[in-house]
Amino acid sequence: MAMVTTLFFVWGFLTSLNDILIPHFKDIFGLSYSEVANIQVAFFFAYAIFGFPAGKIVEWIGYQRTMVAGLFTMALGAVLFIPAANLPSFALFLVALIILGAGMSALQVAANPYVAVLGPPQTASSRLNLSQAFNSLGTTIGPPLGGYLILRSATKAVENTSSMTAAALRSYQQQQAASVKFPYFIFTLVLVLLGLAIALYKFPRIDTTKDFRPIKGGGKQHSIWRYRHVVLGAVAIFVYVGAEVSIGSFLINYFHQSYIAALTELAASAYVAFYWGGAMVGRFIGSAVLQKVKAGTLLMLCALMAAALVLISMNTTFTSGVTTALPLHFLSWHWTLLIPHSWPMWSILAVGLFNSIMFPSIFTLGIAEMGPLTGEASGLLVIAIVGGAIIPKLQAILIDHIGIHRAFIIPVLCYIFIAYYGVKGSKVVFPE
């Protein structure tokens, strides 16, 4: 359990670094927002492309070897950052991110169900919530640490590179892109060492027919598409990841609005940690609560609370100028944190706390009682993570038409479906 939980932290940390790469590469390559958004598109679409094959690989070589293969594939993606920075080439960076995402999809397909079956089915959601809490720890510390490692050695971006000669532009891009080489070299070493550690560790063998109800019969009954709770679980994962990423992606812009919090973009960025940190705290709490409460019931309650909080944010406004100044001191660093008395800001941040148990709970409900098809079911659920690329794009289009305040209706609709899945859609019905 401890060994596998380490993997959750690693992929959470590396996923969160995309938030650092986006502004960094935008400046280096002079990209538009739609162009630099291809970082997230490439990364999340890797789940759609490689999720199902990874499920098949679990069936062929088992959980442990699939984890090892995933880690080594991630190491390949990480080390490709070095030649991509040397060229420098945004296209090669995208290829590296696709490979990194492919390895991560294999890791998720193997690690999530392995934690679920590593004990009694009744407490599977509790175990997965505990492991996912360390994933949230990675996403919480990843951006500040990644920003320090990557951005501290980058010089101030040039305002206009269009007047540069081709040679000067290439030199400038190489100088700026070089800041990713050392961090990703270290990440490569860590991934290889972790892969070797997992490969050499003696894992207990898991018999899925023992831990879950074996699937009887033959023919078409051996298709995961005939199991309603699996298919609806994939939809629930799709809308959950989409809602979570949609909210997180637009928080800084949202808090910048005068009727939300009237914060500068720099000040607003400090509050994003509350959103992701809330998910971490909620998963630790959820791990204990799920020892006593059914996963479907808690999922429904959390989804309804998340929907209610988003609706509160959408239907309230900030009274401009009502803030509290909090002076902070740390060693020789002094700054002032402005705390707006803003219902729309704090209610949307609180959504992170209720997001916490959703992914692990949906995942364990989606693979419940699938026996030898657990690997394939896990693959389908991992493919559904592509919602993190599609739903934020839909919300961005809606923002252009009706404004950022009202566009949060999309996450509300997502949470309503998740509540339905918790109370009804997750019930296991075996084909006749």
Q: Give the pLDDT mean for 261-281.
A: 78
The 10s digit of each residue's pLDDT in 365-418 is: 998 888 778 878 888 998 898 898 888 888 888 888 888 888 899 999 999 999
Q: What pLDDT shows up at residue 328?
A: 47
Q: How far is CA 76 from CA 50, 264, 274, 309, in A?
A: 16, 38, 33, 41
DSSP string, 177-193: HGGGHHHHHHHHHHHHH
Q: What pLDDT shows up at residue 241?
A: 93
The 10s digit of each residue's pLDDT in 95-147 is: 999 999 999 999 988 888 888 778 777 777 788 888 888 888 888 887 777 77
The 10s digit of each residue's pLDDT in 337-361 is: 555 567 888 899 999 999 989 998 9
Confidence of residue 214 (pLDDT cuts 50, 70, 90): very low
Q: Give the pLDDT mean for 307-332.
A: 69
CB neighbour list of residue 254: distance below 8 Å, 6 or more residues apart: 260, 261, 268, 345, 348, 404, 405
Confidence check: pLDDT of 217 > 50: no
Query: Above pLDDT 90, what percent of the chain?
Result: 33
Least confident among 76-80, 283-287, 327-331, 349-353: 327-331
Q: How far is CA 210 from CA 10, 115, 122, 128, 213, in A?
A: 30, 15, 14, 19, 7
Confidence check: pLDDT of 282 > 70: yes
Q: Are 313 and 331 in contact (CB under 8 A)?
A: no
Query: Above pLDDT 70, what percent of the chain?
Result: 86
In degrees and rounded to multiples of 5, residue 333 shows phi and psi of -100, 125
Q: Give the pLDDT mean for 282-287.
A: 88
Which residue segments constitute the domains of the chain, with CATH numbers given? 1-206 (1.20.1250.20), 221-432 (1.20.1250.20)
Confidence check: pLDDT of 218 > 60: no
Q: Are 364 and 15 in contact (CB under 8 A)?
A: no
pTM confidence score:
0.73
The 10s digit of each residue's pLDDT in 16-27 is: 888 778 778 887
Q: Are 192 and 5 in contact (CB under 8 A)?
A: no
Q: Give the pLDDT mean for 170-196.
A: 91
Q: What pLDDT shows up at residue 219?
A: 44
Confidence check: pLDDT of 148 > 80: no
Higher pLDDT, 133 or 75: 75
